[in-house]
Amino acid sequence: MVWILFLVYLACLSYFLFFSERYGRTDSSNGYRYNLVLFREIKRFYTYRKEVGLEGFLVNMVGNVVAFMPFGFCLPMISLKRRGFFSILFWSFGLSLTIETIQLLYQIGTFDVDDLLLNTIGGVLGYISYKIMLAIYLVYRRRNSSHR
């Protein structure tokens, strides 16, 4: 079941990152767009949050984090080799780097180091959520098995 949810998640993520008209992913006429200065776009979105509006601010700042949380949550459940913190950190960064590179090469979206950071944080937060849920499950399971 987790594999199916993980594949559906990856399909949805791919759609929003590469094909969504709402986020301007189908327009590839603008040439190469990139930001290689860490915190530049984060600072810009924060500074101009009133001008870009709440939705624009949340989509860029919170959306990049939230979009990668399922990755960090599901990956340890489907892979025995990818259950450690640094493994999730590495794979979250790797997936984000792959996505950003594809966006740059195909000129859809912007290659942004701030997105690399936010996506990686999202993967790590998903992993932390997984560890918390696992701990709660194990406590619950121990309590139920000791009451029999």
pLDDT by residue, tens only, the chain of 148 residues: 999 999 999 999 999 988 888 766 666 566 899 999 999 999 999 999 999 999 999 999 999 999 999 999 999 999 988 889 999 999 999 999 999 999 999 988 889 999 999 999 999 999 999 999 999 999 999 998 876 6
Q: Is residue 27 part of a domain?
A: no
For the chain, how many structural domains are there in total?
1
What distance in Å separates the CA atoms of residue 90 and residue 94, rounded to the nearest whole number?
A: 6
Q: Give kind and range of the element (H or E) at residue 112.
A: strand 111-112
27 class by beta-carbon count within 10 Å (0-12 exposed, 13-18 middle, 19+ buried): exposed
What's this model's pTM, rounded to 2 decimal places? Answer: 0.90
Q: Is residue 113 part of a domain?
A: yes
Full domain range(s) for residue 109:
2-22+32-146
> What 3-state class would DSSP assign to 113?
helix
CA atoms within 13 A on the CB side of 99: 27
Q: Is residue 39 part of a domain?
A: yes
Q: Is residue 77 part of a domain?
A: yes
